[in-house]
Structure 1
């Protein structure tokens, strides 16, 4: 115990530290065996809950698991508080019961994991902005029509107002038509703003059909550029747990890939379907294109791997990262339509956030 590389302390039933090794004294910045209470060092530790076998087993199992609220805060005398993993064991000596705590500092590990998570979010966000660059030209084209219509309706209304006898009904009709076109333009802008929203990592129960319906108009804009048809087959009552913006971005990326694939002089067909499975909610995006060459398929989800000329090879890699953050999987296969099929699962309420 004296030479152990991790901090080790022995605590009695009253929660008083009765002995400690040099590593523990150094970590907490003070000698601990002089009557220090463990509650001042580890305020989140419930010593009484560890007095029973089941309580001790549950505590050790939790400390070996992953996720939030696993690490305990450690108050250190000469430094800011740290985070520690703790394992516990009971023993008796000279008729007295003790609890041995094996304390491992994980402050730097947690900080590194947080930095990696932040980097992942930044990459996904920047990737989303790059995708929005592609959408910007489509949205500009889509906005041009309602804005032009607004000008035409208002010009017609102004012409009527300049006449000696004003036809009030026609003027109001033109003004109402201009208002309808303004609402249409506003809808396009709102959809774009939804996709620009920074990911919060907030997973909620959603109706899958509603999530996809929000981006269907933008998908149809893209489809018109390629003279393609997009079909969505999602039952309206299907629900799952996800970050809706991230899932919209995956579907947008997969549909764009399907539309950008080379053609065989056939009109491109893209189908988005979904349904619950034992492994979670499954969404499939498939097309009738040429599919993916076998030489490329093996590393399709690797970073910097792309089947597109000039592609950066980040889209599918980030799709995989997002899906895995939902405790799901994504895979490629040949589609029954003759082209590529990308299927990914969202593992329902068991998301890892």
Structure 2
């Protein structure tokens, strides 16, 4: 029998009295508890409605102030064309309304008047004015005292702020009505706030601008901290997107991102675990904000709480107010009274049980002797051949079967233990409930670098890299009745380096089908995977080398074969030009066409010779030339492709000094970069397609920039390595050859990784010495 006979007899005698007393105690407790809980629910509802009315009363002045300023500006009582008068009006509004942190007006022409409170400047108020005088934009900052006196002012020519690009201006313009933004953390004061904006109409269908009000809502959190809700209850306000915007502890509602900006904490990651738990169950049932008042209960760390959630405050402010408090704040005293009555019932039951225990001891004595003998045999402290104590006849037959089972079990455990500990493979037993190691052998300690004691305090997931899928989680054992595993995985050695393993696991169950533990064997395959990776890399490198050699041979052959027909074209064009000049009635257009044919054929010949020299690694001949002229010739060469792809090529060059380089190679680099940009924008269907070529002088060099408005470059691709390409049919040699050409001309070519508007390449060319003359460039 699993249960003690003595205990059962004692419990049986005392249980009836104990149950009778508890029935009386609980009937009284439940009646009183329900009355108090109804009162608590009414109290939480009143607190929630009070908070809602306080929030609306706090924010309503902002709407009146914004709409008043908008109407005054619309009817030109306060002229938006007079920024000084408008600044003074906004300053007065800001002073009389303490919850405002700033007021501003953004004009349809880009003008801006902004008055704000300043905690870290030379004066308590700061104004920002963006004005236009004779078409010249001016940005001025003015610090003022409480009497509107100027303390200091300065002009910032680098400021590019445009109010027309801000969300509050766009929404006010689109909706043509007063709008509220989502709550956010103000950048200047680092305090939670919300912005209200109202449009300033200029006519039936025109907008002269918009008036905005920044309101700090931190005082709502101060109001919540002063509420008395039971002994330890709290209230909080949650936005429709789940962000907590007000709480008695204001430090919990803000979080800092990696770039240093502040934002609200979502209720799912909120630092108050009780508030987070109050919303956890609700999130599975319905979305926020709720459409009706909801009352519920939840448990956190053994304590019971009650929570009341109100519908959103208004359509403009979709905020949800939740009020929660421990149930013991309302029914604690009655619970204490119930506990006292229960202890009285326990005392009565104990006295009755002691009397029953004395009677049961006499009956239970032979059974206890048999149980002690069985335990000693199981632990190896007694022999199964020792004589049986005097006991009941039924227990004698059970003893014989039990002794046989104990002997067989101990033999199997000894054999399994030796196999487990001495195995040449790493082995472990893992708990299906927690994923912790229950038993490990020496081989696993050797692979991981941890001792047996250290591993027994860890889980398998503690050894796996964070980015790898986790094995042997309790959820996997719970969902897979026939759990087995045979896969490759990685773990981290104690010193931090990764170890590749072949993992095999099976789940062991007891006779009732309940999981006992998972038996796992692990084989170290790190060296085998490293050899496979090295073989694959060597095969890839050999393949790339063969492609490169074939490419070089094909290019050399094509250069040799194309040189002769190009020479013939140049000679024939020169002869035709001579005949046309001798003819008396030859058209000027014909001579111009023949001159163009001759020039382009000679240029093609120069390109072929440069390509042959590059392939054969001959020294390229550098000349002095005008880079702007070369760029214009190159632009004409790729213009047909740009027109077909709807791409605009813009050259923005200042007066540049002559450069010294191989003219043909630099032209080839420009053609390759511009064509790459055209193909990238065409393939990605970019809405704005521009290629901009600019240059600037830098000491002994000039730096040339080629940028586009395409999709940009994947950070994981090294474009200047051979056989690295972003094109489906590309060979990955164009940019590698371009870098080689630039370096052969004593320059550098690189990709600007910080540029996010597309792709931006930069290369440098050496300036020609002052004493050298610039030879006229040919077409």
Q: TM-score by structure 1 length?
A: 0.46
Larger Rg: 2
